[in-house]
Chains A and B, each alone.
Chain A
Amino acid sequence: MITRKYLVTRTSYAVLTSAIALVINFLLPRLVPGNPVYTILLTKYHYLPPNQIKLLESEFGLQNPNLLYQFQRYIIELFHGNLGISYYYFPATVTNVIATHLPWTLFLLGTATAISSLVGVIIGKYIGWHSGTKGETAISALFMGLTSIPFFWIAVIFQLIFALYITHLLPISGAYSVTLVPSWNVAFILSVLRHSILPIFTLVLVSFPGFSLTMRNTMVNQNKEDYLTLAKAKGIPERLIVKNYAARNAVLPVATHIVLAFGYVVAGAFFVEVVFSYPGIGYALYVAVTSLDYPLVDGIFLVITLTVIIANFFADILYAYLDPRVELK
């Protein structure tokens, strides 16, 4: 049930968080000791080319030392989609670089999140209903272990295995075969799918156990709910009790968990991209960080942060729509 109050609260949270992100993005480069332009140019070229100074200064709006004026410029540029020029991918603009890399990340993230939430919820429902059995205890322990392993290490181990021991079965780097030109033909699409198997599998493997454990816990708590007792007393078949009473009620908190974990999975996708040299936004961020491409780092930070905030916002709205009780809380 979506009430106006709920909508206002959620919107204000999203706006406030976005504003904080904007301010951080604006202030951080300017708080670094010394003129950011000099810092940037020195790290990039180790000397100060005068024409570059002018260019960058105008870009930062630095001719006017008034921070408010600079902030105004920054916001205006932002609304024109202008995030500056990347050093590493020169002469491409940051916006351009992000636009070419983002789809790959969205593809990985979308597929992996869909698979891991589906698998996680189904397994969690099952082990939750059979909690206390030996099998359940073993599976829960295994899952707890899986959630403790860092994303990037799993990715590295997979790469090690598939590079050295099961060679040529699956590609271990890139998003498609280098011999192909991107286009909508079967060979290319198959190549993309084959290249995505290991990154997606890694992401799923490390994220689904967490969803399963949350689902398990909420399922176990369902057993204490009075409406389950009534359902039993009414003579509802167990299969339907699990499905319509326990699982339906249990899955809603899990949805919140999946949304909250979204930021975590995004970070995971970044690492997986770096390990598998997958040309997504995470890989671009890695390149930007290691080559001190400050405009690109700033741009990616902003875009990713805003994307996650907006995704969170829509998930909250969807959640309220799905759960008739939300407005009460």
Chain B
Amino acid sequence: MLPEVGPLETKTLKTKSTTGEVSFLRGALGNKKFFSGFIILLAFTTIGIIGPFIAPYNPYNTSFPSWLPPTSAHLMGTDYIGHDVFTWFVIGTGTSLFVGAAVSLITTFLGTAAGLVSGYYSGMVDNILMRTVDVLLIMPTFPLLVILAVYLPPTNTTTIIILGVLSWPFMSRVIRSQVLTLKERPFISAAKLSGYSGKKILFSEIFPHLLPLIVINAVYIVVGAIVAQAGLAFFGLGNLASVNWGTSLYWAQSSDAIIYNAWWWIIPPGLSIAIIGIAANLFGSGLNEYVGQRSGEVR
């Protein structure tokens, strides 16, 4: 056999030491997809945060005429009982994003924890967790969501908890498979050989490599939760008094907005959900590309 001599090891070390969150973000923003996704998400978040301050009217003010098309006084017209649609939109953006973010926080925490644990400690724990995931993934989500929402008190908190608790299985599977691949990589064996504890390897060696994946999934879950919440609201479930994109669409549907040609009421929330979905996809695939490129260069 010939001696296999490769320049691999030294190169890996050289490029790895320059990482930092700031330089990582700056590099990723060089990716066009990631950049545009990031900007759109940032724009919506900004609207969501400043929404209550730029809203021209009280969202529950019904003193305007019904079914007004867009004018300078009502940028998005009015609805069936004279709410200002623009006010509902900017405030609703905040609520929808908040629900999405809260769900994502729960799911990401549960999913990452389960994925890490089951990927790193194979055996019994892994078996039990993954069989649970298998079973939960077979269960169709929507009817389950509906029946839970029917019996539990109709508040946004309920919706957040239901969605958060139901969507972790898929994420845990994604994380687990990534942990399994990482475990085979030389730097993990090296850490093990140098006597690091399991916990330390998990958090200081494996976890940082999972971050891009976790961020991508977290963003997808925000969008998924916004759609799911809107879907539930559209079905008349959850807190219908809450001002958000879903309830806007519910009231539009149930008050026959179509017959009144009230496109100004129907289009903004739905289009926003679609745009945010596209932005999340751009964000995710851009980040994926960037991470792929970087590890390609390292190699």
Contacts and interface: CB of A to CB of B under 8 A. Distances in A.
A163 B281 contact: no
Interface in A71-87: none
A112 B150 CA distance: 28
Given A263-B142, A297-B150, A308-B140, A290 B259 contact: no
Interface string A56-69: 00000000000000
Contact of A298 (B139, B147, B277): B147
Interface residues of A, number: 51
Interface string A256-271: 0000101110110011
A151 B235 CA distance: 13
B281 A144 contact: yes
Interface stretch (B42-50, B64-72, B78-86, B266-274): B266-274
Identify whether the interface residues of B are mostly helix, strand, loop, or mixed. Answer: helix
Contacts of A32: 151
A156 B253 contact: yes
Contact of A150 (B141, B231, B237): B231
B226 to A, nearest CB: 9
Contact of A289 (B150, B230, B269, B285): B150
A266 B274 contact: no
A96 interface: no
Nearest to A316: B138
A201 to B, nearest CB: 17
B236 interface: yes
B270 A164 contact: no
A227 interface: no
A1 B281 CA distance: 37
Interface string A1-29: 00000000000011011001100110011
A192 interface: no
A253 interface: no
A304 interface: yes
Interface string A125-160: 000000000000000000011011111110011011
B138 A13 contact: yes
Given A144-B281, A267-B231, A289 B151 contact: no
Contacts of A153: 249, 266, 269-271, 273-274
Contacts of A156: 249, 252-253, 258, 266, 270
B151 A149 contact: no
B141 A267 contact: yes
A38 interface: no
A245 interface: no
Nearest to A269: B142
A297 B236 CA distance: 13
A25 B147 contact: yes
Interface in B232-259: 234-237, 249, 252-253, 258-259
Contact of A160 (B258, B271, B274): B258
Contacts of B223: 148
A275 interface: yes
Contacts of A297: 146-147, 150
A322 B280 CA distance: 35
Most A CB contacts (10 A, CB to CB) among B147, B231, B281 go to: B147
B278 A148 contact: yes
Contact of B258 (A147, A159, A304): A159
A31 interface: yes
B235 A289 contact: yes
B91 interface: no
A200 interface: no
B270 A17 contact: no
A271 B135 contact: no
A14 B270 contact: no
Interface string B18-48: 0000000000000000000000000000000
B236 A290 contact: yes
B249 A152 contact: yes
A300 B135 CA distance: 20
B148 interface: yes
A329 to B, nearest CB: 13
A301 interface: yes
Contact of A301 (B147, B231, B273, B281): B147
Interface in A293-308: 294, 297-298, 300-301, 304-305, 308
Contact of A267 (B139, B142, B252, B277): B142
B263 interface: yes
Given A13-B134, A29-B151, A294-B150, A164 B261 contact: yes
Interface string B205-228: 000000000000000000100010
10 contacts: A144-B278, A144-B285, A147-B277, A148-B223, A148-B281, A274-B235, A274-B253, A297-B146, A305-B139, A312-B138
Shortest 10 CB-CB distances between A and B: which pairs?
A148-B277, A153-B270, A267-B142, A263-B140, A308-B140, A149-B274, A301-B147, A290-B236, A17-B138, A145-B278
Interface of A: 13-14, 16-17, 20-21, 24-25, 28-29, 31-32, 144-145, 147-153, 156-157, 159-160, 163-164, 260, 262-264, 266-267, 270-271, 274-275, 285-286, 289-290, 294, 297-298, 300-301, 304-305, 308-309, 312
Given A145-B281, A304-B143, A309-B139, 10 more contacts: A20-B139, A25-B147, A29-B151, A32-B151, A148-B223, A148-B277, A274-B234, A285-B143, A290-B236, A297-B146
